[in-house]
Amino acid sequence: MVGSIYALISLGFNVIFRTTGVLNFAQGEFVMIGGVFAAWLHGKGMPLPVALAGGVLGAGLVGVLVDFLAIRPARQARPVILIIITVGVSIVLRALAALAWGTDRFHLPPLQPGDVVLGGIHVEWQNLWMLGTATICMAALAVFFHRTDLGRAMRACSENPEGARLCGVNPGKVSALAFGLSALLAGVAGVLLTPMLSMQFDQGTMLGLKGFSAAILGGLGNPVGGVLSGLLLGILEQLSAWVSSVYKETLALTLVVLVLVLRPKGVFAK
């Protein structure tokens, strides 16, 4: 169920968007880095859990760096500019990944091999892990943003940066935190996806795009909507693959456009 991956990616998008207002086109690259780095570590002989952790944390670190180097200096720019800056970042990350780890496909063993039969359908364990992780992440984020002080501070910052500053919240740190958190989520997504589909340096783009679509379809800024749309998008993709394996991307994207036009507020808007 690739949909859970899209859900995770859209969560990451929403975190960054709600906290900083930036549309991060490099989100897909965070996913890619998580997967490739973990696979690389594993290939170098690290035990699986360490490699996975490394992948996730590595992605998170890259996220914070990106915020530091690229987003912070350009806080004041127009939204279009910020979007293109993140596009530039995604190009840089892709190139760095190609240089550092090569252009081959990377593989990871699944967390739990084999499958289980649920109601007559064979479901791979990895799928369940993906779904489960996505749900846990969503719940954890909800708790974080609504129950902890730090989370509330971040939300305050997004609504009103000046007021938040007066109360002692530092917008710069909040921004870094948002990017880091979002990249961690992406890293998790990458690490979960690689065993199923393998990961290559240029796969981030399409993944990011799908996650982005899910976020917008669910209503930008609405994390629950984004998650649900992500799952929906995954299902739609499977259906399109049924209809025509050659044109499955085309069909999926056409559906995205249709939804955008017919229900711009998002499928799950109130």
Partner 1 sequence: MIRRPPEPVSYLRLYCGPAALLAAILLTPLVARGAYAYLLPLAQLCAIYAIMVTGLTLLMGFTGQVSLGHAGFYGIGAYTAAVAVTSFHSPAWLAVGLALLAGALVALGAGFVVLRLKGHHLALATLCLGIIVAELINRSKLTHGAEGILDLPEITFFGLSKGSSPAQFLFIGLILWLVMLWAVNLTTSPVGRALKAIQGDEGAAAALGVPVAAVKLKIFVASAVLAALAGVLYALVYSPSYLGPEEFSLTLSIMLVTMTVVGGMGSIWGGLAGAVLMTSLHEIINTVGARCGSTDISRYEQLIYGLLLAAMLIFCPKGLVPAVHRRFRRVFTARTSF
Note the residues at the interface with partner 1 (CB under 8 A): 23, 70, 73-74, 76-81, 83-85, 87-96, 98-99, 205, 209, 212-213, 216, 220, 246-247, 249-250, 253-254, 256-257, 260-261, 264
CB atoms within 10 A of CB 88: 13
In whole angstroms, the minimum distance from the beta carbon of 17 to partner 1 comes to 9
Smallest gap from Cβ 14 to partner 1, in A, equals 13
Asked whether the CA dihedral 26, 32, 33, 35 is positive or negative, the reply is positive
Q: How far is CA 43 from CA 55, 110, 198, in A?
A: 12, 14, 13
- Which CB atom, from 148 or from 250, has the smaller least distance to partner 1? 250
* Residue whose CB is less far from partner 1, 11 or 93: 93
Nearer to partner 1, 73 or 113 (CB): 73
Burial (CB < 10 A; 0-12, 13-18, 19+), residue 198, is middle
In angstroms, give the least distance from the CB of 53 to partner 1.
27
CB of 247 to partner 1, least distance (A): 7
Q: For partner 1, which is the closer residue by CB, 121 or 261?
A: 261
Name the residue nearer to partner 1 (CB basis): 54 or 171.
Answer: 171
Q: 53 vs 96, which CB is nearer to partner 1? A: 96
Q: Is 92 within 8 Å of 28 (Cβ atoms)?
A: no
CB 258 → partner 1: shortest distance, Å?
9
Q: With respect to partner 1, which residue has the nearer C-beta, 120 or 245? A: 245
Tell the smallest beta-carbon distance from residue 164 to partner 1 (Å).
Answer: 24
The three state secondary structure string of 41-106 is HHHCCCCHHHHHHHHHHHHHHHHHHHHHHHHHHHCCCCHHHHHHHHHHHHHHHHHHHHHHHCCCCE
Smallest distance from partner 1 to CB 167, Å: 29
CA angle, 77 then 80 then 85, to 5°? 75
- For residue 174, CA distances in Å to 168, 224, 242, 266 come to 12, 22, 44, 27
Q: How many residues does the chain have?
A: 270
Rounded distance, CA 265 to CA 219, Å?
6
